[in-house]
Structure 1
């Protein structure tokens, strides 16, 4: 079922373009071959996306990868006992689905509100809400699926907020983030 060629950004010469006919024109037999369903294998996500200190985001669905026009989706991982910097996502709405681990969310102008979520729970983050993601576990990574209401991963880091819980210094070691 996996067509690994389809998940590459250059698999279609014009991501987001629709070369198939519209209206009363008769579609050809390959109408949806390159503009139909796309499978993005979990081991082929793209880390070339907006990042926030303390977390590691990878894009699966966006304009560059599949031609998405109104949605962004990917994964996020936060190491044990780590916290992100304070940030918001502009006008975008975000949905976080907790796959494994325990998420603690702080939000508000001074991060004065808190809620927790575990595996199978969904978190909704409205536009412009300052927030901080925290891995509530001291020994288990937090893994989530993230979906946003636009094809860009807008992240506005807010360095001048004094968070209730200080972000931890976490050194990500991957192709983009080298060990110090």
Structure 2
């Protein structure tokens, strides 16, 4: 220990002058009105990427926002080995999970939801008249969604089906 050694140079390009080594490869601020909707979209759900490989060079994380229409519900699915964090900005989220979706919890503004790898779950806007706004963070850039058609959703997707190449019709 007794050494005072700065490891910051380990990530700096070796050709960059010391005074500018982090100018283009350092902290990035992504304005909230400059998010990218060139990501998988689902009816009833508007997803925008803030942090990903294409936008900032992120290799191990994806972050963005989602706006979910009132009463929208997904089919039953899991996200493979990915860990997911959902932060509720406004509205009311309901999560159902388990082999038969036997568990349920709700989250409101300021609450965080953690979804571990391989957990079968269903995401629901618990409100029939207000949108749900959330911030999403996933532990990888890949959009892994594994649909589980042999589990009957406790709350059948009804008003708005989230259907796209990732979320199949229930």
- TM > 0.5 fold call: yes
**Rounded Cα–Cα distance in structure 1 between residues aligned with 2:9 and 2:42:** 30
- 1:126-161 CA deviation, whole Å, 9 max, x = no partner? 001111111111111000001111122222233332
Q: Could you state the TM-score of these two structures normalised by the residue count of structure 2? A: 0.80
The worse-fitting range, judged by mean Cα deviation, of 156-165 and 97-106 is: 156-165
Alpha-carbon spacing, 1:167–1:178, altered in 2? closer, same or farther (3 Å): closer
- 1:89-124 CA deviation, whole Å, 9 max, x = no partner? 110111100000000000112211100000000000
Ranges in structure 1 where 5+ consecutive residues have no aligned partner? 1-5, 15-20
Ranges in structure 2 where 5+ consecutive residues have no aligned partner? none
Conserved in 2, the CA contact under 8 Å of 1:106 and 1:132? yes
Q: Secondary structure of 2:20's partner?
A: coil
Task: Using the TM superposition, give the Cα deviation of residue 13 of structure 1 relative to its aligned residue in structure 2, in angstroms.
Answer: 21
**Rounded Cα–Cα distance in structure 1 between residues aligned with 2:25 and 2:17:** 13
Higher relative contact order (CA 8 A, sep 6+): 2
**Rounded Cα–Cα distance in structure 2 between residues aligned with 1:154 and 1:145:** 17
* 4+ runs deviating over 6 angstroms: 6-14, 171-180
Task: Using the TM superposition, give the Cα deviation of residue 170 of structure 1 relative to its aligned residue in structure 2, in angstroms.
Answer: 2.2
Q: Could you state the TM-score of these two structures normalised by the residue count of structure 1? A: 0.76
**Rounded Cα–Cα distance in structure 2 between residues aligned with 1:8 and 1:66:** 28
**Rounded Cα–Cα distance in structure 1 between residues aligned with 2:153 and 2:53:** 33
State the Cα RMSD in Å.
Answer: 7.2
Q: Secondary structure of 2:88's partner?
A: strand
Conserved in 2, the CA contact under 8 Å of 1:93 and 1:149? yes
